[in-house]
């Protein structure tokens, strides 16, 4: 059997909001390329939240990250995820899992997607242990308070986050990166505008369990493909007819 020929054309769709793309996402996408010939990073246009970055910005930043990787394509999409996957000529949705809380939600989402389109399969990869604790939401919360998130996101996204929140790039010496106490991770101040931001800004860890946070994030994945892929393709979702991301 010609195994090389057998592999030709294997395409996976990795959906998410990517607001912003993190190194957890990047790790999973690159690992996906070891299994599939091509991976499409599908950036969801619909979201119930107000994204920090516009759709064009999110697509452009991801394209910069994967420039020079011919097996990785970045493109936006709207509507029901399984419809997009079908239009793209694929039958695999690639997702990431960090914890048990992810699995419960992703299990339901995968079954619903299978109900809608039985020929489309969901493939899960466990996130690399070094990225277990990060998500786009936590990254934004830390960055909004001046925290140094360098090394947790690609360099171009690190720069964009610093600029978006009005902090110097490269990181200025006047940023207080102390953990614990009022304003832990706090820089020049500002508000994260979320429970995550409150938890970081007050020196706490998370104001609610990570599982609860992910469940709250996950009211929109059927349409856009995942839990705020906000987390290594670890999804989020809502009913198929009222989706977002």
Task: Please indicate, yes or no, if residue 61 is contained in any of the structural domains.
Answer: yes
Q: Are residues 8 and 43 in the same domain?
A: yes
Concerning whether 115 is annotated as a catalytic residue, the answer is no
| pLDDT of amino acid 89 | 96
User: Do residue 107 and residue 195 come from a single domain?
Assistant: no
For the sheet with 38-44, list strands across it: 72-77, 38-44, 11-16, 92-97, 121-126
Q: What DSSP assignment string belongs to 96-148?
A: EE-SHHHHHHHHHHHHHHHHH-TT-EEEEEEPPGGGTT--HHHHHHHHHTT--
Cα 97 to Cα 114, 130, 171: the distances in Å are 18, 13, 31
Most confident of 59-68, 182-191, 194-203: 59-68
In a shared domain, residues 173 and 220: no
In sequence order, the β-bridge partners of residue 125 are 96
Per the model's pLDDT, the better-predicted residue between 99 and 233 turns out to be 99
Say which of 98, 160, 162, 223 is annotated catalytic.
98
Residue 112 inside a domain? The answer is yes
How much is the average pLDDT of 150-178?
80
pLDDT tier for residue 86 given thresholds of 50, 70 and 90: very high
How many percent of the chain have pLDDT more than 70? 66
Does residue 230 belong to any structural domain of this protein? no
Beta bridge partners of 231: none
Residue 232 covered by a domain: no
Q: Could you say which of 10, 31, 49, 159 is catalytic?
A: 49
Q: Can you say whether residue 101 is alpha, beta or left, with left for phi > 0 and alpha for psi between -120 and 50 degrees?
A: alpha
The answer to whether residues 24 and 52 belong to one domain is yes
98 assigned to active site: yes
- Domain co-membership, 202 together with 127: no
54 lies in the same domain as 80: yes
Span 183-191, average pLDDT? 38
CA angle 219, 220, 222 (to 5 degrees): 125
Nearest to 14, CA basis, from 26, 2, 4, 23: 26
Catalytic option among 101, 136, 144, 229: 136
Q: What is the 3-state secondary structure (H, E, C) of 161-223?
A: HHHHCCCCCCCCCCCCCCCCCCCCCCCCCCCCCCHHHHHHHCCCCCCCCHHHHHHHHCCEHHH
| Mean pLDDT computed over 154-160 | 96
**φ, ψ (nearest 5 deg) of residue 96:** -115, 150
The answer to whether residues 106 and 177 belong to one domain is no
pLDDT in tens, 199-245: 566 544 333 333 333 333 333 445 554 444 444 443 433 333 333 32
Residue 21, domain member (yes or no): yes
pLDDT at 153: 97
State the total domains in the chain: 2
Position 156 in a domain: yes
- For residue 170, what pLDDT is reported? 75
Position 34 in a domain? yes
What's the predicted TM-score (pTM) here?
0.73
- Provide the domain limits for residue 161: 136-208
CATH number for the domain harbouring residue 65: 3.40.50.620
Same-domain check for residues 168 and 85: no
**109 and 189 within one domain:** no
State the pLDDT at residue 202: 52
177 has a pLDDT exceeding 80: no
């Amino acid at each position: 059997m010609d195994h090389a020929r057998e592999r030709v054309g294997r395409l996976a769709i990795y959906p998410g909001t990517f607001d912003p793309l993190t190194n957890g996402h990047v790790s999973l996408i690159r690992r996906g390329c070891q299994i599939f010939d091509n991976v499409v990073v599908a950036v969801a246009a619909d979201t119930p939240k107000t994204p920090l970055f516009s759709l064009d910005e999110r697509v452009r930043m991801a394209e910069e990250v994967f420039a020079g990787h011919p097996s990785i394509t970045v493109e936006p999409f709207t509507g029901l995820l399984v419809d997009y996957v079908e239009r793209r000529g694929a039958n695999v949705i690639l997702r990431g899992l960090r914890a048990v809380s992810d699995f419960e939600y992703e299990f339901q989402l995968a079954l619903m997607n299978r109900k809608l389109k039985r020929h489309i399969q969901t493939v899960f990869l466990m996130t690399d242990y070094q990225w277990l604790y990060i998500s786009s939401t936590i990254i934004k919360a830390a960055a909004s308070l001046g925290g140094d998130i360098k090394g947790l996101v690609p360099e171009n996204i690190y720069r964009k986050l610093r600029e978006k929140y009005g902090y110097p790039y490269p990181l200025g010496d006047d940023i207080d990166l102390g953990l614990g106490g009022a304003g832990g991770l706090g820089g020049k101040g500002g508000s994260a505008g979320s429970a995550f931001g409150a938890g970081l800004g007050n020196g706490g860890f998370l104001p609610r369990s990570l599982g609860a946070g992910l469940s709250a994030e996950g009211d929109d994945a059927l349409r856009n493909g995942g839990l705020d892929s906000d987390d290594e393709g670890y999804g989020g979702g809502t009913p198929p007819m009222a989706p977002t991301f």
